[in-house]
Chains A and B, each alone.
Chain A
Amino acid sequence: MTISEERRIVTKRLHDRPDDSWTIDGALATGAYDVLRETLAEGDAADVQEQVKASGLRGRGGANFSTGQKWSFLPADLFPRYLVVNADEGEPSTFKDRMLVERDPHQLIEGIVISAFAIQCNQAFIYLRGEFALGYDRLTQALDDARAKGFLGTDILGSGFDLEIVVHRGAGAYICGEETALLESLEGERGMPRLKPPFPALAGLYAKPTVVNNVETLSTVPHIVSMGGAAYAEIGVNKSTGTRVVAISGHVKKPGNYEIEFGCTFRDVIYGFGGGIRDGHALKFFLPGGASFQWLVDTDEHLDAIYDIDFVQQNLGTTLGSGAVMVFDDSTDPLLVAWRLAKFYAHESCGKCTPCREGTGWIEKVLYRMSHGLGSPSDLDLLIDVGAGISPNVATAPFTQTTLCPLGPSVVSPIASLDKYFRDEIAARVASNGLGASAGATA
């Protein structure tokens, strides 16, 4: 029997008050800002940092980096410093941050104020994906209400702590989710990733010390502080502590966001929470962590693998990434999916690095031919070789790259997956399209 019971922490309010969870009244009625009040009353920033470290919380933006550790990288006495909230959610099939912003903005704001207090910062920016119009309305409304109630602004709740939060709308660029591109965009530049080092913790926004955290990460902070880091660390499995809001989509009966405790299996995710594959069809393959990493298929090895960041990385050569699980059944043409993903990366490449700028476009064009009956037998090997020019050893996670940021290499994941699981299917397809070697790549 599969697990299908959610462990609701960051999604509790929005389920408990479906009709007004985003309003100040709905939020206050369900304990919003209580933790903030206590925290500021105690006034022990170091302790908040301690709790977050102890909780083992790892960033929910996709890189899974320890939040407590990231905060500790801030140089001791360099001010001003900034907290930047990454709400640019653009990873295909990821839709958890949008829900958290639209339906529980006060939880996010409380998380931001507590975290800012913990790292001694007085100015925060929320970089919100431009297309999230409703989220923007609700967030700005929530900020106004919070400010009116004294949860924000100067001398918050009489504690002497000041914080201003500015919401900054993006304008349609997936790459701005990458933290340094986000900072460039926030500075009014083209959203092109920066060289690292220097890392944002040392020289980020306006070259000042900066922490960039994901919406879900910060929404979790109030709960960690209230239950205590140790208690939070009890939840989950191994070094994957706590819960994760998993966005399940595709050919499942019950697509949607589910707050899942780490430690279940992919079988639970797809057949338990997701309700299984739609009738009359069978699972063919699934993307376990957003669009950027390698695919998994309908085998016990993959389905029974534990939903644990490190287990998946070490044993399956892929990652849980943004926490999205995309499910495809036997009606799906993997070539078409691979082509559409390549098209996405080609469209979103910022254009800075040669291999990504030119390679994503090239790969998209070849995959288009292949998925539209114009492939040639040598195309797959061509793709693998071209892909190696962007990510010399994509098969291992974390992969290496010839590019500045990981967007470029992401386009290679579908190729490696096609090669791993669908070589024969593709060979058959290409043979049947009758063009043989005449079309394209070997010419």
Chain B
Amino acid sequence: MTTTEPKPDLVKDTVSVTVDGKTFEAKKGELLIKAAQENGVYIPRFCWHERMKPVGMCRMCLVEVDGVRGFPPACTTPVADGMVCNTQSETVKKIQDGVLEFLLVNHPLDCPVCDRGGECPLQDQTLAFGPGESRFVEEKRHFEKPIELSDLVLLDRERCIQCGRCTRFADEIAGDALIDFVDRGDHMQVLNFAEQPFDSYFSGNTVQICPVGALTARQYRFKARPWDLDTVETSCNACAVQCRGAMQSSSNRLVRLLGVDSEPVNHGWLCDKGRYGIEWIHSENRVIEPHRRVDRELREVSWPEALDAAAGLIRGALDAHGPDSIALLGGARGTNEDAYAFARLMKSVIGTDNVDAQIGDGLPAELVLGVPRAEIADCDRAAAIVLLGPDLEEELPVLHLRVRRAAVELGVPLVDLAAVAHGLSDYATVVSRTLPGEELGTDAMEKIKNARGNRPGPVIVVLGRPSMAESPAVAMRAAKALREVPDVRFLSALRRGNVHGALDAGLAPGFLPGRVTLDAGRDWFTEAWGEGLPATKGLDAHGILEAAAAGKIEVLIILGSDPAADFPDADLATRAIAGVKSMIAIGGFLTGTSRGAEVVLPPTLAGERSGTITNLEGRVQGVNQKVAAEGGAMTDWRIALELALRLGADIDIATVDELTDELARVAPAFEGVTSALMARARDGVVLPLRDHRDEIVLRTRALSILAEDGSGASWDPIKVEGEPEDADAPGLEPDAV
């Protein structure tokens, strides 16, 4: 952050610096290389990376500073008031020429066959700052190339310029020091240990930050040349962190996802799951045309035929058994707009509240929507972070990095109350294992109090279920106990990509879009949608499956989910699938569940669709289409509208932006989050918008779920509805009720 206008009223936290004759104000203690860059002077560099500690190894950023002897590296020199710095003098240029010529001494210059060719910092800076030709005519150093650091990452040691970015990332950021330099001098090379590959959930980041083509990813290797790559910025939907990324395609195939630095979310990092998962949309097993069961066989049919069939099933059930005989499971993998369209279809057009985006493997919507929320960035300034959920490294990898950084770099105390040891346990200041089902003892409260000490800032609780074996009621009671902690905020550790967006959009029993309860929002939504809202709260996943098993569900709509595989009580799931009259599956793959469907409708998947998604902190970010849909795949929201149309409701929506705007108009928590705003907000926006809060609180008057400050819900729903339902939830301890 820099600023040119002085701030007379504040204590001056900036200093005045002159670089190449240009004078500007820079933040105290800021590194010269960064301050200069933010003020339009690019100082060449290789080893320095904004998100890692400076090491001053490559010597590319040397500059002259008046009054300082020698040539300080801009990457290790903090700005000082009155500092006068020259990055263009003859001497500095000579040094830059020198460093580049030195770097090329042992570099193979095989750019034509190098993945990095065309997007290579070494290549670019040689053009911009280099001597042109090398005078080195001796024998170059030779290495066998390339070698495998892991199944994913390959290393060409001849191209390596020993900047140490990869080894420092592995150690400093990921905490997996599984690669290090070996040997020394110009034989120095990066290596993993004999039988131990570089198996890190974050290894792909090293490939991305390698300033040359030394590290390559098996997936991307030789797939395409940078100049025929075509890029859009988007958000990863592989988990609920939703890291910012740049999605790249070549001849209509997704080939690469690169991390984009977003201060509030991912600092530029991605996990390998997200980075390398993008290609699944091109899988041969994917269903890309509508199917319908014709004499016991799923046969490919036209969209109109499939949609008519699906609508027919729904209509039949409605007429014969009423709306409650229809239910929907899923919706956590689509966009907010997809979820909203289905919420409206189910709750308004059809009129059933038997809708659940979670498959019994998450937390009750009352809890997720009810607790005061933290933002990911709050971790950096937290007084303490309480870990009460699953292994973040497994479930929400880049959140794991953020929490680790808070603990290791920023000294934020970690209180580990999780049931079992996990990826962050090593960094915990206090560990107190709560056995499955066990209550949070007062001692745990003490531990949090002590850990926090008198550090300023909120206490952040990462709340989730350590395993599916544990009842959500435990997390719920823990949350209730923890809300006594002053200035506590929660991050709900739900895994599925857009589960928070789906809940916000109303895909949960008892809720309508915008974090309002069915009852509280009834008038408002009847106004917006028309008559026909369900009279009472419907069933959640567990209830739906039991009803199905009991033969009470006529039509089960499976929206991108697979209860057979994901519902904790597999036996119940199987009985349910057997007991349901007919299933309509909307999904890109045939699963244990959808194999039994009457109709299968292929939706577009990540990379093929645009819209918005919402991460675990409630941040709405845009996702963008990069490639044309495979085959006849249709967006979820359009499928919903087509079904609505066939059920007699003509919802006049033509584009996804119109849906985004309708959501902003009718769903309280989404107030103000218009397509126009989303186009502007690079880092997205956190719901509910602060500057709209008053209207929201006003507009949603007595909405029980929305807390006074608009940040979350009142706590009542938990008490009222939380526990009885859990009584027979799987794995629940008897004492829990």
Checking A348, A358, A366, A400 against B102 with a beta-carbon cut-off of 8 angstroms, the contacting residue is A358
B184: interface (CB < 8 Å):
yes
Q: Are B186 and A346 in contact (CB under 8 A)?
A: yes
Cβ of B571 under 8 Å from chain A: no
Interface residues of A in 374-389 (CB under 8 A from B): 382, 386, 388-389
- Per the 8 Å Cβ criterion, residues 353-382 of A in contact with B are 353-355, 357-362, 365-366, 369, 382
Asked whether any CB of chain A lies closer than 8 Å to the CB of B62, the reply is yes
Chain B residues closer than 8 Å to A190, beta-carbon distance: 181, 184
Which of A361, A388, A402 is within 8 Å of B185, CB to CB? A361
Chain B residue at smallest Cβ distance from A362: B105
Least CB separation from A378: chain B residue:
B135
A442 to chain B, nearest CB (A): 8
Q: Is A1 an interface residue (CB 8 A)?
A: no
Would you list which residues of chain A between 319 and 361 have a CB under 8 Å from chain B? 346-355, 357-361
- A195 at interface, CB cutoff 8 A: yes
- Alpha-carbon gap, A361 to B135, bound state (A): 14
B185→A354 contact, CB < 8 A: no
Q: State the interface size on chain B (CB cutoff 8 A).
A: 38
Chain B residues in 8 Å Cβ range of A389:
94-95, 97-99, 101-102
Closest to B47 in A: A354
Contact in complex: B186, A388 (CB < 8 Å): no
- The contact string, 1 if C-beta is below 8 Å from chain B, for chain A 80-119, is 0000000000000000000000000000000000000000
User: How far does the Cβ of A373 sit from chain B's closest Cβ, in whole Å?
Assistant: 16
Q: Does B296 contact A (CB under 8 A)?
A: no
Say if the beta carbon of B228 comes within 8 Å of chain A: no
Contact B181 A357 (CB under 8 A): no
| Distance of B137 from chain A, by nearest CB (Å) | 5
Does B55 have its Cβ within 8 Å of any Cβ on chain A? yes
Q: Which residue of A lies closest to B184 (CB)?
A: A351
The distance in angstroms between the C-alpha atoms of A354 and B59, with both chains bound, is: 6
Question: B222 interface residue, CB < 8 Å from A?
Answer: no
A357–B138 touching, CB < 8 Å: no
A359 touches B139 (CB 8 A): no
The interface size of chain A toward B, counting residues with CB under 8 Å, comes to: 36
Shortest C-beta distance, B70 to chain A (Å), equals 5
- Of the residues B57, B71, B137, B185, contact of A349 by C-beta under 8 Å: B185
Nearest Cβ on chain A to B122's Cβ, whole angstroms:
11
Say whether B69 contacts A357, CB under 8 Å: no
Chain A residues with CB below 8 A from B161, complex form: 354
B56 interface hit (Cβ, 8 Å): yes
Q: Given A349-B184, A358-B105, A402-B98, answer yes or no on A392-B91 (Cβ-Cβ < 8 Å).
A: yes
User: Does B58 interact with chain A (Cβ within 8 Å)?
Assistant: yes
Q: Which residues of B contact A400 (CB under 8 A)?
A: 69-71
Q: Which residues of B165-193 have CB atoms within 8 Å of chain A's CB atoms? A: 181, 183-188
| Cβ of A404 under 8 Å from chain B | yes
Whether the Cβ atoms of A354 and B71 lie closer than 8 Å is no
| A173 interfacial contact with B, CB 8 Å | yes
Q: Find A358's partner among B62, B69, B103, B139 (CB 8 Å cutoff).
A: B103
Given contacts A354-B103, A389-B99, contact A402 B162 (CB under 8 A): no
A78 CB–B CB distance under 8 Å: no
Q: Are B186 and A361 in contact (CB under 8 A)?
A: yes
Q: In the assembled complex, which residues on chain B have CB atoms less than 8 Å from the CB atom of A202? A: none
- B98 touches which of A365, A388, A441 (Cβ 8 Å): A388
Min C-beta distance of B54 to chain A, whole Å: 8
Tell me whether B56 and A195 are in contact (CB under 8 A): yes
Check if B60 is an interface residue, CB within 8 A of chain A: yes
Note all chain A residues with C-beta closer than 8 A to B136: 362
A230 to B345 alpha-carbon distance, docked (Å): 97
- B181 & A346 in contact (Cβ 8 Å cutoff): no
Contacts A354-B161, A382-B135, A392-B95; A349 near B186 (Cβ below 8 A)? yes
Contact A441-B135, Cβ < 8 Å, known A354-B60, A361-B186: yes
A360 and B101 contacting across the interface, CB-CB below 8 Å: no
Chain B residues within 8 Å of A382, by CB: 135
Which of B54, B98, B105, B187 gathers most chain A CB within 10 Å?
B98
Q: Output the least CB separation between A37 and chain B (Å).
A: 45
* Residues from chain B with Cβ under 8 Å of A347 in the complex: 185
Q: Decide if A4 is an interface residue (CB 8 Å cutoff).
A: no
* B-facing residues in A109-135 (Cβ within 8 Å): none
Shortest distance from the beta carbon of A39 to any chain B beta carbon, whole Å:
39
Report whether B70 and A351 are in contact in the complex, using a CB–CB cutoff of 8 Å: no
In contact, B185 and A360 (Cβ under 8 angstroms): yes
> Looking at the complex, which one of A362, A388, A403 makes contact with B59 (CB distance below 8 Å)?
A403
A76 contacts across to B, CB distance below 8 A: none
By beta carbon, the residue of chain A nearest B103 is A354
In the complex, B625 has a CB within 8 A of chain A = no
Of the residues A195, A346, A349, A357, contact of B76 by C-beta under 8 Å: A195
Interface string of B43-81 (1 = CB under 8 A from A): 000000000001111111010000001110000100000
In the complex, A388 Cα to B90 Cα: how many Å? 13
Q: Contacts of B137 on A, CB cut-off 8 Å?
A: 440-441, 443
B325 at the A interface (CB under 8 A): no
B106 CB within 8 Å of chain A:
yes
Contact A357 B186 (CB under 8 A): yes
Chain A residues contacting B97 (CB-CB under 8 Å) are 389
Q: Are B185 and A392 touching (Cβ within 8 A)?
A: no
Contact yes or no, A362 B102, CB < 8 A:
yes
- For B183, list chain A residues within 8 Å (CB): 351
What is the CA–CA distance of A386 and B136 in the complex, to the nearest angstrom? Answer: 10
Please indicate the chain A residues that have their CB under 8 angstroms from the CB of B95 in the complex: 389, 392, 402
> B62, B91, B105, B186: which contacts A351 (Cβ < 8 A)?
B186
Contact, CB under 8 Å: A354 / B184: no
- A60 and B159 CA atoms in complex are apart in Å by 42
In whole angstroms, what is the CA distance A347 to B188 when docked? Answer: 11
Kindly state whether residue A401 has any CB partner on chain B within 8 Å: yes
> In the assembled complex, how far is the CB of residue A359 from the closest CB belonging to chain B, in whole angstroms?
6
- Given known pairs A351-B162, A389-B99, A440-B138, the reply for A402 and B184 (CB within 8 Å) is no
Alpha-carbon distance between A268 and B185 when the two chains are bound, in angstroms: 39
**Interchain nearest-CB distance for A343 vs B (Å):** 11
CA–CA, A315 and B185, complex, Å: 34
Question: Are A361 and B98 in contact (CB-based, < 8 A)?
Answer: no
Cα–Cα, bound, A400→B188 (Å): 25
Roughly how many angstroms separate A162 CA and B106 CA in the complex, as a whole number?
52
Contact check, B102 vs A354: say whether CB atoms are below 8 A apart.
Answer: yes
Query: In the assembled complex, which residues on chain B have CB atoms less than 8 Å from the CB atom of A350?
Result: 184-185
Q: A355-B98, A389-B95, A389-B102 are in contact. Are A346 and B185 (CB under 8 A)?
A: yes
Which residue of A is nearest B188, CB measured?
A: A351
- Contacts of A359 on B, CB cut-off 8 Å? 102, 105
Decide yes or no: A354 and B70 within 8 Å by CB, A190-B184, A347-B185 being known contacts.
Answer: no
Across-interface contacts of A348 in B (CB, < 8 A): 185
User: Which of B57, B94, B135, B188 makes the CB contact (< 8 A) with A388?
Assistant: B94
Task: Let me know if A353 and B57 touch, CB within 8 A.
Answer: yes
Residues of chain A within 8 A (CB-CB) of B55 are: 195
When the two chains form their complex, are residues B188 and A357 in contact, meaning their CB atoms are under 8 A apart?
yes
Chain B residue nearest in CB terms to A352 = B57
CB-CB nearest in chain A for B136: A362
**In chain B, what residue has the closest Cβ to A366?**
B138
A267 smallest CB distance to B (angstroms): 34
A399 to chain B, nearest CB (A): 9
Contacts of A388-417 to chain B: CB distance below 8 A: 388-390, 392, 400-404
Kindly identify, within residues 161 to 202 of chain A, every residue whose CB is under 8 Å from any CB belonging to chain B.
173, 190, 195
Q: Which residues of B contact A357 (CB under 8 A)?
A: 102, 162, 185-186, 188
Known: A351-B162, A354-B102. 15 other contacts (CB 8 A): A351-B186, A353-B59, A354-B58, A354-B161, A357-B186, A357-B188, A358-B105, A359-B102, A362-B136, A362-B138, A386-B98, A400-B69, A401-B71, A402-B95, A440-B137
Q: Which 5 A-B pairs give the minimum distances between C-beta atoms?
A: A389-B98, A351-B188, A358-B102, A365-B138, A349-B185
Between A and B, 21 residue pairs with Cβ closer than 8 Å are A195-B54, A346-B185, A349-B184, A350-B185, A351-B183, A351-B188, A354-B57, A354-B58, A354-B60, A354-B162, A355-B59, A355-B98, A361-B141, A382-B135, A392-B91, A400-B69, A401-B71, A402-B59, A402-B62, A402-B99, A404-B57
